[in-house]
Structure 1
Amino acid sequence: MRVLCTVTGSRSHIHALRPLARALADAGHDVLIATTADLAHASAATAGPAHVLGAVGLENAIGAGPRVVACLPDLQAFIRDSGRSPGPPGRAGEDPWPPFILDMLAGTTDTAWPALLAVAEGWRPDVIVRDGMDLAGILVAERLGVPHLSMPSGTANVLPPASVLSALNRLRAAAGLPACDDPRSVAPCGRIDYVPEHYSFACHRIPALRYRQPLDRDPAAVLPAWVTGAAPGRPLVYAAIGSTAREVASGHKPSPAREVAATDEPSPAREVAAAHGPSSGFPHPERALRALIEGLSLLPCTAVVATGGVPLGDIRAAPHVHLAEWVPQPLLLECADLFVTHGGYNSVREAMRTATPMVVLPLFGDQPHNARRVAALRLGCQAGGQSGEAVAAACRAVLSDRSVQGVARAARLAMLTLPGVEQVVADLERLVRER
């Protein structure tokens, strides 16, 4: 079986694909990963034994291990170059991010679709496992007449199939493909997810093949030795704002800041104002990082903050707050008492896998939706604003609430009832056979 996978967006999307690609390759199937130039070498490094290929001679690229080809446009660069921002909340405080994301995805598909088609026509896949931010994979699957599924994706979770269908039909027309009036044509074979149905983050009812969130550890990763010297009796808090905030924000002028009181009720309108200011725009990674560091400096804890390479400027941390550009997140979550996160879907799933309660400080994209869902499931709460005081208040609330810890453990137990990702091999084999 030949499996064409697509990865776009950020490195976290590679983490979702890596165990699946390895399982398929270990079972003897041929796996090709199509991605962006920036992610190509990251894909090769993280997918196990792999080779980075050009777009020529793919029909001969059969052998052990996933292979990687750089052919997709850089979505983050497209967003920066477009000069557009999500705009203010819509009517009734509607979240402005999903329509903006869909507009950006459709915009990159004009370039991605012919490039991916050229690769696929050489590779001749039996099935396509696509990034949830990849619409070109749908068009290519329809052109070749092969099934397709999307990977676990925060973006796919928040985009209503009816809205995607409208954009997809415009893209189909441009590609010479027939239109369809059924929203289910967006995902006719369903999707892949790594959380139980009860804990789903999807705002739609597209069926899912569900596997438990893999413990995606780098065998070479270790925690810093100073972790063992953490003050006994104090909680260990890990905080991170994700790997893409700096890249997405670059090239966009920050909006005027507006503080939101910690007692304010979260809403899409408040989330946008809290993260970006009243005029809306792109996230302030420096502001979010300042809020994390200042908030954790107010708490009696041992804290680790992954800065993601965001410049610290004049931000100063208390002695018990340790700063690092990067830490092995899956390892640290195994021992953390609390995770203060931007709310990326990959990070949320990793916290659920380790039963780590969360405080979510969302910045953009699907993160505001994920923050609301974390709170609704009682896996943690959303910070009331991007200030140190708001972060500290949210952390105190979660750390003092034993019921949140109980819910987090229950979610982990439910996740452990799902089959391992290795089950995807039999599921895809059956899907291809039945087509």
Structure 2
Amino acid sequence: MKILFTVGGSQAIVFAVTPLASAARNAGHEVLLAADEPLMEAAESVGLPAVCITPDRMRYGQDGMTATDRLDALLELAEVWTPDLVVGGLSHVPRVFAARIKVPYARQVWHVASMAHRDRTAEEMLQPELERLGMGELPEPGMFINLCPPSLRPPGSPAARSMRWVPRVRQRRLEPWVYTRPGGRPRVLITAGTRNLVLDTLGTPLRRLVDKLTGAGAEVLVAALPEAAERLGVELGDVRVGWIPLDVVAPTCDLAVHHGGATTVATMMNAGVPQMIIPDKRMSANVAESLCGFGAALMVDGQRPDAGRDPGELIGAACREILSDPRYAERARLLAEESASLPTPAEVLRELEVLPAP
């Protein structure tokens, strides 16, 4: 089969589809990844054959603004490389494309909140494209794959094919400290993901947060994009800072402090690491609320600060609570066990291989 994977947004989306795309390649299928220009380097770093379809980064919720260019680019690609199956994500443009060329479509997401309102809005924005292409209503995806463990999904979530989260990120040459635990003290990882050049979304100055954690006896690692590492290294002194493969370092951590990105959450959850989340957008807050409800995390919402309370103090107190109370680690381990029990990408691939055409 020829399988086309489509991605847009951040590098994290590339990393999220890589396990299933790699499983398809390992099974002997031809695979292409259709990506935005800003994501091509990430695709190359994980060994996926990628083709650029637009020069600009796609942002979720903007399907209607960029749909014509994206659809035309995909249709042009299909003239010379016609897929037998299309796998997309949050955007509905690949769904339109798959329906237009009459091949099965699967949607893969990691989500804990209802997407119904966002999806309705996106579909309404795509109506002009459906009319332009002479199409009626869009068929439902042949398969809806959700990487989020069922325990975190809210009541009423759409039926989905569960799939195990398999961490996959850009790698680097490793030194022993990356994959070994420090002796006699907890390890805390701080990151703001790949969409934030600097860690200014964590609700308090980074230096202050690091000082609070080291003052409590923790070893602190700061995972940041290479572009930010030089400046942060000067600011933070002897703290290790730079591109740290989260999948490798996660099993050595006792706590992760971050912005609530789904990829970061899932990678830490996969390793059984409790989390302190300062969400940088509503979607991240939904993820954080679900984890908190399960007992594997705490959240400080920097967008909605407590009146009269310093966010830095709240974050520091939450970190101390997680590190001192073993119940957070116990709940995090339960999530890791649930995630490990879900079907692997290779198992889900076998079902994708026999999806009927619309």
**TM-score between the two structures when normalised by the length of structure 2:** 0.85
Partners of 1:228 and 1:217 lie apart in 2 by 19
Could you tell me whether the CA contact under 8 Å between 2:63 and 2:122 is conserved in 1?
A: no
Using the TM superposition, give the Cα deviation of residue 414 of structure 1 relative to its aligned residue in structure 2, in angstroms. 1.2
Identity rate, percent: 25
The residue number in structure 2 matching 1:382 is: 299
Could you tell me whether the CA contact under 8 Å between 2:197 and 2:224 is conserved in 1?
A: no
Partners of 2:71 and 2:126 lie apart in 1 by 9
The residue number in structure 2 matching 1:69 is: 51
Could you tell me whether the CA contact under 8 Å between 2:179 and 2:249 is conserved in 1?
A: no
SS of equivalent residue, structure 1 residue 142: helix
SS of equivalent residue, structure 1 residue 245: coil
Could you tell me whether the CA contact under 8 Å between 1:241 and 1:288 is conserved in 2?
A: no
Which whole-Å deviations, capped at 9, do the CAs of 1:226-254 have from their partners, x for residues lacking one? 88694x3211111101111239x9xxxxx
The residue number in structure 1 matching 2:166 is: 214
Which whole-Å deviations, capped at 9, do the CAs of 1:85-119 have from their partners, x for residues lacking one? xxxxxxxxxxxxxxxx52x3432323222212221
Which whole-Å deviations, capped at 9, do the CAs of 1:156-191 have from their partners, x for residues lacking one? x556324422431331333424454xxxx5743242
1:266-345 alignment, distance < 5 Å: 284=201, 289-290=206-207, 292-308=209-225, 309-310=227-228, 312=231, 316-317=235-236, 322-345=239-262
Using the TM superposition, give the Cα deviation of residue 286 of structure 1 relative to its aligned residue in structure 2, in angstroms. 9.2
Unaligned runs of 5+ in 1: 51-66, 80-100, 250-282
The residue number in structure 1 matching 2:17 is: 17
* Candidates 347, 353, 356, aligned match of 1:429: 353
Partners of 2:162 and 2:181 lie apart in 1 by 39
The residue number in structure 2 matching 1:234 is: 185
* Candidates 74, 77, 87, aligned match of 1:116: 74
Which whole-Å deviations, capped at 9, do the CAs of 1:304-337 have from their partners, x for residues lacking one? 1123344757985475xx2312111111101101
The residue number in structure 2 matching 1:34 is: 34
Could you tell me whether the CA contact under 8 Å between 1:73 and 1:111 is conserved in 2?
A: no
Deviation above 6 Å: which 4+ runs of structure 1?
A: none
The residue number in structure 2 matching 1:268 is: none
Which whole-Å deviations, capped at 9, do the CAs of 1:122-154 have from their partners, x for residues lacking one? 32211111132x221011012112221222345
**TM-score between the two structures when normalised by the length of structure 1:** 0.71
The residue number in structure 2 matching 1:150 is: 107
Kindly tell me the number of residue pairs found equivalent between the two proteins.
347
- Say whether 1:348 aligns with 2:265: yes
SS of equivalent residue, structure 2 residue 5: strand
Using the TM superposition, give the Cα deviation of residue 290 of structure 1 relative to its aligned residue in structure 2, in angstroms. 4.7
Q: Cα distance 1:382–1:229, how it changes in 2: closer, same or farther (>3 A)? A: closer
What RMSD, in angstroms, separates the aligned Cα atoms of the two structures? 3.0
Partners of 1:150 and 1:130 lie apart in 2 by 5
Q: Cα distance 1:408–1:130, how it changes in 2: closer, same or farther (>3 A)? A: same
SS of equivalent residue, structure 1 residue 151: strand
- Say whether 1:360 aligns with 2:277: yes
